[in-house]
Structure 1
């Protein structure tokens, strides 16, 4: 099964939401569609980012990418309910390296 990473910048919390709710919302949204293998929080150049690694059902490349993209956008929408966000990136593992995909 192809492995993807969704990386989302977090720029602030919406009122009434604790910080841990950000990752919970992201994992719930992705987990309702795919197996979430790992979650991670990093701070890159002073900006928090969440990274979720998930598996997509094997199909042809276009269908896999479409499923991953749709799920990353659903994750973004779920997180937007609890936090303000910045850039969303989607990466796919190919030959042991994480490669950005459209």
Structure 2
């Protein structure tokens, strides 16, 4: 099964929400339809981002990438209900590297 990473920049937590809800919401959004393999919070150039690794069922590459992009998009929408969000990157595992998924 192909492995993907969704990286989402996070800004301020919205009023009435706790910081831990950000990662919990992201995991629940992906976990509703796909297996979450790992999750983390990173800070890159002083910008926090959440990173979730998940798998999609094997098909052909175009379908796999499109499904991963849709899953990551739903995650970003869900997180936007609890925090401001920024850039979303979707990456696919190729050998020992993570490569960006092209927009379709």
**TM-score normalised to the size of structure 1?**
0.98
Distance 1:65 1:47 in 2: 26
Spell out, residue by residue over 1:29-71, the C-alpha distance to the aligned partner (whole angstroms, 9 max, x if none): 0001110000000111111000000000000001101110110
The runs of at least 4 consecutive aligned structure 1 residues that moved more than 3 Å come to: none
Aligned ranges 1:86-97 → 2 under 5 Å: 86-97=86-97
Q: What's 1:19 paired with?
A: 19
Q: What's 1:84 paired with?
A: 84
Q: What's 1:35 paired with?
A: 35
Q: How many residues align?
A: 102
Q: What's 1:53 paired with?
A: 53
Distance 1:56 1:11 in 2: 28
Distance 1:97 1:62 in 2: 18
Distance 2:90 2:97 in 1: 13
Q: What's 1:5 paired with?
A: 5
**What RMSD in Å do the two structures reach over aligned CA positions?**
0.5
Distance 2:32 2:59 in 1: 19
Residue 69 of structure 2 aligns to a residue whose secondary structure is: helix
Residue 66 of structure 1 aligns to a residue whose secondary structure is: helix
Structure 2 gaps, min length 5 = none
Distance 1:75 1:88 in 2: 10
Distance 2:65 2:99 in 1: 12
Residue 22 of structure 1 aligns to a residue whose secondary structure is: helix
